[in-house]
Chain A
Amino acid sequence: GEDVEQSLFLSVREGDSSVINCTYTDSSSTYLYWYKQEPGAGLQLLTYIFSNMDMKQDQRLTVLLNKKDKHLSLRIADTQTGDSAIYFCAAKGLSGGYNKLIFGAGTRLAVHP
């Protein structure tokens, strides 16, 4: 089945760019997602990209997809302290007849002054 992997921790200085990386194994994944989770809260959908695209930009967020390498990244420009959270990468694919999201373990982003 699908396996999604992410690095567990990233620390950046306020104002710098953050890049969170993710790899997945199922080349038939149709959509790839980035979610943000703050402590004690649910997941907030940040953005998603269709598998036939290689880039998507939305304000401070840029998603890059390398389908050949099955590598996804999320770049956050001008990172702020409010961006401190856990970021989950997820891949959607057919499994057991249903479209399911398979999540990575999450990357904890710490932003320091």
Chain B
Amino acid sequence: QVQLVQSGAEVRKPGALVKVSCKASGYSFTSYAIHWVRQAPGQGLEWMGWINAGNGHTKYSQKFQGTVTITRDTSTSTAYMNLSSLRSEDTAVYYCAREGAARSGIDYWGQGTLVTVSS
């Protein structure tokens, strides 16, 4: 079965960087894109960017340009999300999620990783 398993909770100070991993299994990793979506406390879902796991091409939300970097390692079927210059407003649960087949939505999600930014 398809699974996306994310790394554990992180605590960082303002200005630091965090790296969250997302290990995929149960499907051909390079055949699907991976999104990163976050949810701040009391807020809705916010799309950050995605990566074509096959060719490594990325697209980011303008809001996160310059602070987020999404990469992947095909040898381990793992996607990564780096977020730099952290601020308290970046405190959120971060999800990786798989884009389904054409026009079929985001069909599988990781369990979420809580990132807390606090001095």
A binds B: no
